């Protein structure tokens, strides 16, 4: 279950992975310069409309925002978009590479 603290921590982590300041993000989503700081410091909580703007800005879905098993959904989405352009042979090579990087030698 997400509470204000978990939400604030997730927002801060995703913002930092994107490499933007809280001020720049606040202004980019049409809020005051310190808006994201207030959320990250647990002094504010966004409305549903602003939450959707935050997700759009981060280029993730609301589901991805709450999915703790994906620490960097934006990067994962970028990788998947590139994978969709590969043929089957190249995908097999990428699968072998991914398994090698995490130390899993299973073959399919």
> Can you give the residue ranges of every domain in the chain?
4-68, 72-108
| Second-level CATH architecture of 4-68 | Orthogonal Bundle (1.10)
Q: Which residues, other chains included, contact 55 with Cβ-Cβ below 8 Å and sequence gap of 6+?
A: 61, 62, 64, 65
Task: Work out the average pLDDT over 40-62.
Answer: 96
HSE-up of residue 90 (Cα within 13 Å, Cβ side): 6
Q: Please name which of 34, 32, 38 lies closest in space to residue 7, comparing C-alpha atoms.
A: 38
Task: Work out the average pLDDT over 94-108.
Answer: 76
Residue range 18-47, pLDDT digits in tens: 999 999 999 999 999 999 999 999 999 999
For the question of whether the overall pTM of this predicted structure is more than 0.95, the answer is: no
């Amino acid at each position: 279950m997400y509470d204000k603290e978990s939400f604030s921590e997730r927002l801060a982590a995703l913002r930092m992975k994107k490499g933007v300041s809280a001020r720049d993000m606040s202004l980019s989503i049409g809020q005051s310069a310190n808006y994201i700081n207030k959320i990250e410091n647990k002094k504010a909580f966004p409305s549903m409309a602003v939450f959707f703007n935050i997700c759009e800005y981060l280029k993730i879905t609301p589901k991805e925002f709450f999915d703790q098993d994906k620490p960097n959904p934006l990067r994962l989405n970028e990788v998947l978009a590139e994978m969709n352009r590969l043929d089957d042979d190249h995908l097999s090579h990428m699968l072998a590479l991914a398994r090698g990087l995490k130390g899993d030698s299973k073959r399919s």
